[in-house]
A and B are shown apart, each in its own frame.
Chain A
Amino acid sequence: MSSETQAGLQGSAPAPQRLPLRARLKNIDVYSLWPVAVMIVIIVVTGARSPHYLTVFNFENILSQIAPLGIVTMGQAILLISAGLDLSVGYNIALSSIVTGLLLEHGQPLWLAIIAGVAASTAVGFGNGVLVAQNRAHPFIITLGMSIFLFGLDTQLTGGAPVNDMKGLYTAFGGNLPSGFPFFGLPSLTIPLVLVVVLAFAFLRWTPVGRRAYAIGGNEEAAYLSGIPVKRTKIYLYTLMGALVGLTGMCLAGEINEASFNLAQNFELESIACAVIGGTALFGGRGGALRSVQGVALWGIVQNAIVFAGLSSNYQQMALGAIIVVAVMVTRKQR
């Protein structure tokens, strides 16, 4: 980067033109692709050792495992870019599933139950946004408080016992898509995952609100002095997170046919970890949807490979912990 600075100090230069494709490819930060490299290594090594690893079934399995986490990670990445974060997602996912599950249990129609479940988590997101924006308080503590509150609410609503029949939701999300073109029998959750990733990418790149998120995360004071409605944007982003949480709640509850307070335990920290592993800055201003997807994919592939290696799940935790630390070290190298 020092050469850039040098050039910047010199006198007037000709206006930079659009770079040719090859130069633009060169500009891509190789470091930011390290999760892909690690994934390839893991896939090759595990594939060589186990005949059952490189199968469609196994990768479908990975996909359905990471889909809910992937959806939340998109929301978390958007918040991290704006220098925010949401620690209440775990119990908020549970809340949306519980609201939906209880309504189904009482014989309400599926559409009503889904709308109510998503609305509940969106309202919680809106509440987080208002509290963070109005109090200029650190989102860590606000959303931690919200998380603890929701834990209480979730257990109160269910009496601690899970709702065991998600009815139509299970039919929708529990199985696989039709085989053959264009779905190839992929897990049903592939559709919401891909939709959310594409929308998050477009949101961050091509919408004014997405751009404002980068500006607020990069320098809140300067963003305010540029006429950006900082408070309103924050409320908007947390509300969006609430809606994604609702979608995650539906996916997760449908997939395993259960709604309970511990449906999505640790999702808050895992989603932050995935976003950061992918290269989204923990303190705002930098990152993106595709980068964060890399983090989610690595997360899923490592968990799966450790099962194939015949190691206990304790090793999963150790490996994931190590990856987070490596991610931070590599990200620091980038600039």
Chain B
Amino acid sequence: MTDVRQLPTSSADEQVPLLAIEEVSKRFPGVQALDDVNLSIEAGEVHGLVGQNGAGKSTLVKCVSGVHPPDEGRIVFDGEVITTYMPKHAYELGIAVVHQRTQLLPWLSVAENVLLGQMPAMKGLLINRREANELTRDLLARFKLDIDPEMPVARLATPERQQVAIAKALFRRAKLLILDEPTAALDAERSERLFALVDGLTRDGVSVLYVSHHLEEVFRLADRVTVLRDGELVATRPARELSQDEVVTLMAGRRLAVAAESPRPAGNGKAAVIELQHLETGVLHDVDFTVHEGEVVGVTGVIGAGGHDIARVLFGLDRPAGGRVLLRGEPYEPRGPKQSIARGVFMVPEDPAREGLIPVLSLAGNVTLANLRAITSRGILSLRRERQIARHFVRDLSISAPSIDTPVRNLSGGNQQKVLLAKALTAEAAVLVLEEPTQGVDVHATAEIHRIVRGLAASGQAVMVISTDIRDLLEFVDRIVALRAGCVVADVTAYERSYAQILDVTVGAAGATAS
């Protein structure tokens, strides 16, 4: 808990900050998302906001942009205390958020999006298209953006859409621009162009709150950096006084002791089940690692680092552009989930309600869905067999449900995850790919899921857990593969490395020191 209140307002001549967040706290059921946070942003400042997943960055952004009212404390913007917490109100005050997925109207033109609701009109009736296009072109040119104002937004690539969203914010005379992971979809050159744009903005007096996992970018742009951890603000300091190493330490907190009590063998002697060899996709570069029988491998990295893309390749949803995958030594090129499942590879997707389960279908129906063959004889489903299987898993995975006929949408998040695991087990998968299995799940259920996954490995299955939560992974995996920008930057036995070390390589502070 360092220098929070004695902010280095270098020009200490009572200059009023553009944004002042004063003693703001926000609680969600079970989580203290923000705890007594104080933060100010000066006019024309670029303020970097960093922290691990769940540190409270997005909650803070949502408070400032009017999505969530804070439980305690207040937010002062441009000398005015915010009383109405509504996104529209914040926008009118001059606070604009550009999200990873920007919200534009796809079938309207660039000009119509930028000028939305404020199109120049002839005699107050008909829209003056020519003038609108001129206006937009001028605005875009100010930021050296060459986009046709008449182009429908749907035809633009993601980077251009982001630029349009920024142009739209600036047309509304935004004073504070919040960029949330703005480079997630950008290549190096496009990122450079964005950085130049940000530099230009601050010269015009616009402030930028820059939220990113990529410390290099934050250090490239920010005047000051704020670090959040577990909802608390641990430091706000001028960027030039900080090193990236220090920031990582601040993000991780104390150097955590190694989580695993006993060293687990890293698949030594066991057969390789999945081998990724020089895998290339739009995101992944030369990804090369192996998962052995009876091994739990954690794959981590910031959002967009490539974990999700590995899962998609393994489940046949994406085809690799280069390299190959071997399954028990044989080439493995599934052309969809059906083929993957037939070969014994099963993916449990990140969002159980949206991608994993059939919400209105019963627990039993969901459990057997990926392997109806197991309960079919001569073309007829054996509901009796289905109930046996469902009851078996309810007992084995201690799923708590009123009955196996209950629609899964009436179950809690943790129990839904367990139903998904039961479904994967019914599919007789030899290789399980779990995406964020403990996300949004309470402590008790998390421990249960850890226990189940360890049990699977003990019975010889190969498990790959893809998660952005390094601390969670360290509690139950044998090995961790860390990804950064699509490249493997570390492949280590879990007990060899601490949380801070792995965090360090994924956010890219010190490069590939661990290997």
- What is the CA–CA distance of A289 and B415 in the complex, to the nearest angstrom? 31
- Chain A residues contacting B410 (CB-CB under 8 Å) are 1, 4-5, 8
User: What per-residue 1/0 map shows which CB atoms of B393-407 lie under 8 Å from chain A?
Assistant: 011001011111110
- Contact check, B412 vs A214: say whether CB atoms are below 8 A apart: no
B338 CB-CB contact with A under 8 Å: yes
B358 touches A215 (CB 8 A): yes
Please give, as numbers and ranges, the residues of chain A lying within 8 Å of B412 by CB-CB distance.
5, 8-9
Q: Quick check: is A329 within 8 A (CB to CB) of the other chain?
A: no
CB distance from A33 to the nearest CB of B (A): 18
- Complex Cα gap A302–B119 (Å): 56
Q: Which of B342, B380, B387 contacts A18 (CB 8 A)?
A: B387
Bound Cα distance from A316 to B395, whole angstroms: 54
- Chain A CB within 8 A of B327 CB: no
**A223/B358 contact (C-beta < 8 A), A5-B410, A18-B387 known:** yes
Q: A15-B391, A208-B376 are in contact. Are A214 and B365 (CB under 8 A)?
A: yes
Q: A9-B412, A12-B448, A222-B358 are in contact. List 4 more A-B contacts (CB 8 A).
A: A12-B398, A13-B398, A19-B403, A218-B358
Question: Can you offer 5 A-B residue contacts whose CB atoms are under 8 A?
Answer: A208-B372, A218-B360, A224-B336, A227-B341, A228-B338
Which residues, 269 to 323 on B, are CB-close (under 8 Å) to A?
Answer: 315
Closest to A5 in B: B410
- Chain A residues lying within 8 Å of B355, measured Cβ to Cβ, are 221-222, 225
Indicate if the CB atoms of A218 and B361 lie closer than 8 Å: yes
Closest 6 pairs between A and B when the two form their complex, measured CB to CB:
A218-B358, A12-B398, A227-B341, A15-B395, A285-B360, A13-B400
Whether B423 sits at the interface, judged by CB under 8 Å, is: yes
CA distance A281 to B407 in the complex (A): 15
Cβ-defined partner of B379 (8 Å) among A1, A207, A286? A207
Interface size class of B (residues with CB under 8 A): 35 or more
On A, residues with C-beta under 8 Å from B are 1, 3-5, 7-13, 15-19, 27, 205-208, 210-212, 214-215, 218-219, 221-229, 281, 285-286
A281 to B379, CA, bound (A): 26
User: In whole Å, how far is B448's beta carbon from the nearest beta carbon of chain A?
Assistant: 8
Highest count of chain A CB atoms <10 Å: which of B315, B347, B369, B395? B369
Q: Which residues of A contact B379 (CB under 8 A)?
A: 207-208
Contact of A7 (CB < 8 Å), options: B387, B400, B405: B400
For B391, the closest partner residue in chain A by CB is A15
A4 with B380, Cβ < 8 A, contacts A16-B401, A215-B358, A227-B338 known: no
Q: How far is the CA of A228 from the CA of B423 in the complex (A)?
A: 13
Find out whether the CB atom of B398 lies under 8 angstroms from the CB atom of A211.
no
Q: Which of A1, A15, A226 has the most CB of B within 10 A?
A: A226
Min CB distance A220 to B, Å, is: 9
* Chain B residues with CB under 8 A of A15: 391, 394-395
Contacts of B394 in A (CB 8 A): 15-16
C-beta contact mask, B70-98 vs A, less than 8 Å → 1, else 0?
A: 00000000000000000000000000000
- State how many angstroms separate the Cβ of B347 from the closest Cβ of chain A: 7
Q: List, in ascending order, chain B residues with CB within 8 A of A212's CB.
A: 372
Q: B337 in the interface, Cβ–Cβ < 8 Å?
A: yes
* CB within 8 Å for A8 and B337 given contacts A16-B401, A207-B379, A215-B361: no
Docked Cα-Cα span, A115 to B342, in Å, equals 38
Question: What A residues does B365 contact at CB under 8 A?
Answer: 211, 214-215
In the complex, what distance in Å separates the CA atom of A10 from the CA atom of B347? 27
Asked if B415 and A8 make an inter-chain contact with CB atoms under 8 angstroms apart, the answer reads yes
Bound complex: CA of A214 vs CA of B369, how far in Å?
Answer: 10
A12, B393: Cα distance in complex, Å: 12
Interface centre among B338, B354, B448 (most CB of A within 10 A): B338
Residues of A contacting B387 in the complex (Cβ-Cβ under 8 angstroms): 18
Distance of A198 Cα from B404 Cα, bound (Å): 26
A211 and B381 in contact (CB under 8 A), knowing A225-B347, A227-B337?
A: yes
Known: A10-B400, A221-B354. A226 touches B369 (CB 8 A): yes
Inter-chain contact B359/A218, CB cutoff 8 Å: yes
Q: Is B400 a contact partner of A224 (Cβ separation < 8 A)?
A: no
Report whether A227 and B401 are in contact in the complex, using a CB–CB cutoff of 8 Å.
Answer: no
| Contact partners of A221 in chain B: CB under 8 A | 354-355
The answer to whether B370 and A226 touch across the interface, beta carbons within 8 angstroms, is yes
Q: Complex Cα distance A206/B411, Å?
A: 25
Asked if B196 is at the interface of the complex by the 8 Å CB criterion, the answer is no
Contact with A along B440-484 (1 / 0, CB 8 A): 000010001000000000000000000000000000000000000
